[in-house]
Amino acid sequence: MKKIVECVPNFSEGRNPETIEAIAQAIRETPDCRLLDVDPGASTNRTVYTFVGSPEAVVEGALAAARVARKRIDMRSHKGEHPRFGAMDVCPFIPVVGVTMEECVAIAKDFGRRAAEELQVPFFLYEEAAGHDYRRKLPDVRAGEYEGLAARLDDPRWSPDFGPAEFVPSWGATATGARKFLIAYNVNILGTSNQAHRIALNLREAGRGEDEPGRLKDVKGMGWYVDEYNLAQVTVNLNDYTVTPIHVLYEEVKKDAADLNVGVAGSEIVGVVPLEAILMAAEYYIEKENLFILDEDQKVRLAVERLGLNSVAPFHPEEKIVDYIVAEPPDEPLASLPVRGFIEEVASRSSAPGGGSVSALLAALGTGLGSMVGKLTFGVRKFEDLDAKMREIIPPLHTLSKELIPMIDADTNAFTEYMEGLRMPRDTEEQRADRSTKMQTGLKTAIRVPLKTMQLGDEAWEAMCEVARYGNPASKSDVQVGARALETGIWGAYQNVLINMGGIRDEAFKKEILAEAEGMMDRAKKKCAEVLAILDERG
């Protein structure tokens, strides 16, 4: 699995377009770094950059950006709404794919050490990379901001982790570390900065102090006025969106704004956001409003609309949701073929794709037809009394049809491990033993793949019976074809299990798999007959 790390450096410059672009270009030009977002703010006089890459690449990208900032940003003349203490104010590293938090801690330390040595400026470690508990929280590290930094550096407790323990007026200091995915989120208020700040104090975890904590955990926040938007904002960092999700923060702001007779005009996400956070919001509004939405793109659209994420700038999911940005096309060459291409490939002078891939396709088509009939029944006026039933029937068929699609290619790839074993040397006894072990493991893989197709198909039968019983009667033939296709897909996968079982020496494995497969095959025959009987009874 490819390792992907996110880096979100914040620079104390949001008004000079040449400097903002120069930093962005330094990141773009770093090999294996992908710049995802540049978010400047004139009022805050701060720009947030978001980029991803391999562990090695993000360190190089952050160094390249810091070099530009060292030349172009002078903190002696900096003013802005946002707390800050350095030209590169903060530079966190976040695990995205295939990377642990411990690895990101090592990355942050490597970056901090190298940047401090090269630029001769102080660097502090914070969050997961902090060496002391009192340095974990960024507000504690940045307390006193740039103006108080000279005095703070004289305190031995605040000696930097890397670089000189002396004030560098043009730079200040930088905090670098490793953290969970932080969501920078602003809710727009049609009121004053004071009103926005009052709401932020009510909600942020620190509240107004130890004696008056806020209502929401893992939230940092304040209120400010954004001149370019001509509105105030409750601006927060959601340090752990699984503890306090976006929608919870938004709804709580709405409550407090209503108490103050202040309007809320949507919100904005600064930088990028995990898909999970958006889908959590969608599921909240789906449940709250008793909606029925299955497709991911529609869930995303619902969340965007309910949270007002288009209010101050367009929210393009493909540019703002990190999962979409870093996603690579699925390795499904067969499933991605047009229908004609797939059939021609099956009909060609080649053993693959063969019966296993066709069986997976048939099973997917069977569940797909069941899903289709459910959707053609749901929401139709004369079948409104069945809407609750369709809400139960459709989701499993919808999901299973999608989960069966990858099995088309998985079956073709199932023999890779076996073929690798077949090609292994067999000159010595040890080599022959290793070869045999590899081939046996490969055969088990080749059995488990069609077995998985059977298992997925087997999960669909109850919903297929229900769609036969309650579905739109005009779609009777579609359910009939769906049931036969599903049964045939399961039967075909079963034959692939059997044909590969002959070479298995592990009798316990053989007994267990055959018992499960035979049970599913028997159930497929009975359930298909049940579906057809139900349809015949309905006429």
Q: How many beta carbons lie within 10 A of that of residue 239, not counting itself? A: 20
Q: Within 13 Å and on the Cβ side, how many CA atoms surround 285?
A: 22
Q: Domain locations in the chain?
A: 4-178, 183-326, 339-538
**Known active-site residue 411:** yes
Q: Give pLDDT tens digits for 72-113.
A: 999 999 999 899 999 999 999 999 888 999 999 999 999 999
Question: CA geometry: angle at 278 spanning 274 and 283, to 5°?
Answer: 140
In angstroms, rounded to a whole number, what is the distance separating the alpha carbons of residues 307 and 17? 30
User: DSSP of 284-319, one letter per residue?
Assistant: HHHHHTT-----HHHHHHHHHHHHTTTSSS---HHH
pTM: 0.80
334 and 408 Cβ atoms separated by less than 8 Å: yes
In angstroms, rounded to a whole number, what is the distance separating the alpha carbons of residues 268 and 270? 6
* Dihedral angle computed from the Cα positions of residues 105, 111, 116 and 117, in that order, rounded to the nearest 10 degrees: 120
The pairing of beta strand 174-178 with beta strand 88-97: parallel
239 and 218 Cβ atoms separated by less than 8 Å: yes
In angstroms, rounded to a whole number, what is the distance separating the alpha carbons of residues 82 and 11? 11
Is CATH 3.30.300.30 what the domain over 4-178 is classified as, yes or no? no
Name the fold adopted by 339-538.
Four Helix Bundle (Hemerythrin (Met), subunit A) (1.20.120)
The label of the residue with tokens 């703002």 reads 320
- pLDDT score at 358: 96
Q: How many beta carbons lie within 10 A of that of residue 305, not counting itself? A: 14
Q: Of 347, 326, 343, whose CA–CA distance to 334 is shortest?
A: 343
Q: Of 60, 62, 63, 69, whose CA–CA distance to 14 is shortest?
A: 69
Catalytic residue among 409, 411, 458, 478: 411
What tokens were used for 127? 């969050």
Q: Within 13 Å and on the Cβ side, how many CA atoms surround 50?
A: 23
Residues in the chain where the model's pLDDT stays below 70: 1
In angstroms, rounded to a whole number, what is the distance separating the alpha carbons of residues 332 and 323? 19
**Amino acid, res. 131:** G
- pLDDT score at 367: 98
In angstroms, rounded to a whole number, what is the distance separating the alpha carbons of residues 527 and 120? 74
In angstroms, rounded to a whole number, what is the distance separating the alpha carbons of residues 245 and 284? 10
- Which residues 6+ apart lie within 8 Å of 93 measured at CB? 5, 6, 7, 58, 104, 107, 108, 111, 176, 177, 178, 179
In angstroms, rounded to a whole number, what is the distance separating the alpha carbons of residues 35 and 229? 25
- pLDDT score at 422: 84
Second-level CATH architecture of 183-326 = 2-Layer Sandwich (3.30)
**Known active-site residue 82:** yes
What tokens were used for 27? 């990141």
Q: Residue 461 is inside which H or E element, if any?
A: helix 461-470
Catalytic residue among 37, 39, 78, 82: 82
